[in-house]
Amino acid sequence: MKNYQYILFDLDGTLTDPKEGITKSVAYALKHFGIEVENLDELCKFIGPPLKESFMKYYGLSEEESSIAVGKYREHFEPYGMFQNKVYDGVENLLKELTASGKQVILATSKPTVYARKILEHFHLDSYFSYIAGSELDGTRVKKGEVIAYALEKAGVKERSEAVMIGDREHDIIGAKEQGLDCAGVLYGYGSREEFEQYGADFIVRTVSELREIL
């Protein structure tokens, strides 16, 4: 088993379950375009990937419409949706153990950094992270590979073989592979074993305790 020194975590679906806040915010945005979604579970596919791309992919919005949709999403997300969220059981203990053993814990999320920081602070998890890397509100650095590269640079990681990316969607695996990192897919989030196998995850774990075993 490798002795990883740098542990990069995705946020949504990996550290926290943001289902209520994200799906309600997406539904609010879609309503602006006259699209009513009765079953919010249909919107779970928005958890993880960049928002703008998802509006275009799943609802056929143009690039301009998708930019407007992201703005509408934020109208609901900032005051309400951000904290309609919960930390997965065992996550805080995992972060505590990793930092206590001298490992460097880094956040790498496609969510805007300003939101990610507020969420970690809200749940008192921010102190475990040596660096919080996300996207910018203007849409810069939303692709996972770009976020991971930025996080590695800012955290001063020299040997990529000492780093591992943990996430719950194919984007996390693809981004990690683009940057030459090992990666683990977690099945308690919003991804599937099929997508992890398809994109070549090095590890697939079912629970937070299983995740601890590989780190």
Residues 6+ apart with CB under 8 A from 61: 33, 55, 69
Q: Are residues 34 and 101 in the same domain?
A: no
- Tens digit of pLDDT for each residue in 84-124? 999 999 999 999 999 999 999 999 999 999 999 999 999 99
Q: Has residue 1 been placed in a domain?
A: no
**pLDDT confidence tier of residue 190, bands split at 50, 70 and 90:** very high
Report the CATH number at residue 35: 1.10.150.240
**pLDDT score of 32 more than 90:** yes
**pLDDT score of 139 more than 90:** no
Q: Which of 10, 12, 17, 172 is catalytic?
A: 10
Q: Are residues 160 and 107 in the same domain?
A: yes
In this prediction, residue 27 carries a pLDDT of 98
Q: What is the mean pLDDT of residues 70-82?
A: 97
How far apart CA 140 and CA 166 sit, in angstroms, is 22
Average pLDDT score over the chain: 96
Domain C-terminal end among 83, 98, 118: 83
Stated pTM of the model: 0.94
Report the CATH number at residue 186: 3.40.50.1000
Domain of 41, in residue numbers: 19-83
Q: What is the mean pLDDT of residues 186-214?
A: 97
Q: Are residues 64 and 90 in the same domain?
A: no
Q: What is the dihedral of CA 215, 49, 134, 205, to 10 degrees?
A: -10
Q: Does the annotation count 10 as an active-site position? A: yes
